[in-house]
Amino acid sequence: MSPNNPFKYGKSLHRRTQTPPAYASYRSYKPYLRVEFERKCVYCLMPDTVQGEKSFGADHYRPKSVFPDLANAYTNLFYCCNACNSYKGDAWSTSPTYFVPNPVDHVMIQHMRYQDGTVAHSSDAGEYTIELLNLNDPDAVNYRENVIHMIDVLEDEMSEIAATEKNIAKKLRTKTMTAQDAAVAVATLEVSKVKTLRALKQLCGTL
């Protein structure tokens, strides 16, 4: 699996890094949440760079309707795609077995793991979450598989660019290419490198 594949659940607990001031509206925390959770939905791991930040919001882990006091508490907020947020809705479980794990309080990989574009469960909580958030909706699975495939393609392209760069350097050394031709070839290569890297970063969520 590519090291750039964004669909990998955490192997350890996330310790919050951001310390925003107290805001009157939870929406103001969104920029902090975006940094806190590295631009990915904490539940399905889709990067916000793929579909845009507007398709993301702040999830109240403990729903406002049940915990009104936590409506504007940063520690109750998680970065979440609109699909997961809407499926989660006001759901709240007090069961120690069937609950939605979050990366601050739970080691996510103990509950769910990705197999290509599909989420598999490793616990009852994972099974409950996949069902509640409809994580294996066929369109979502298909979309993730396309994202993963494109990452693979772009990574191959980056390797090819690197190989061509080496080749040009070798030709220069062995004087089988003029400095002028090499400069032109390198400049062309640089353009595709910038484009490929930009596309790769966008798909991986590191833009």
**Which spans of this chain sit near Zn ion (rule: CB under 5 A)?**
41, 43-44, 81, 84
Cα dihedral angle (191, 194, 196, 201), rounded to 10 degrees? -170
CB of 84 to Zn ion, least distance (A): 3
The sign of the CA dihedral 192, 197, 198, 200 is positive
CB of 142 to Zn ion, least distance (A): 15
80 vs 77: CA distance, rounded Å: 9
CB of 91 to Zn ion, least distance (A): 14
C-beta closer to Zn ion: residue 130 or 154 = 130
CB of 190 to Zn ion, least distance (A): 36
Q: Report the helix count and the strand count for the chain, using DSSP H and E.
A: 6, 4
Q: If DSSP states are collapsed to H, E and C, what string results for 10-78?
A: CCCCCCCCCCCCCCCCHHHHHHHHHHHCCCECCCCCCEHHHHCHHHEEEEECCCCCCCHHHCCCHHHEE
C-beta closer to Zn ion: residue 44 or 108 = 44
C-beta closer to Zn ion: residue 147 or 196 = 147
C-beta closer to Zn ion: residue 4 or 47 = 47
CB of 133 to Zn ion, least distance (A): 7
C-beta closer to Zn ion: residue 84 or 204 = 84
Q: Under a CB-based contact definition with an 8 Å cutoff, are residues 36 and 17 in contact?
A: yes
With 0-12 / 13-18 / 19 or more C-beta atoms within 10 angstroms meaning exposed / middle / buried, residue 77 is buried
C-beta closer to Zn ion: residue 63 or 177 = 63
Look-up of token digits 């993730």:
144
CB of 1 to Zn ion, least distance (A): 20
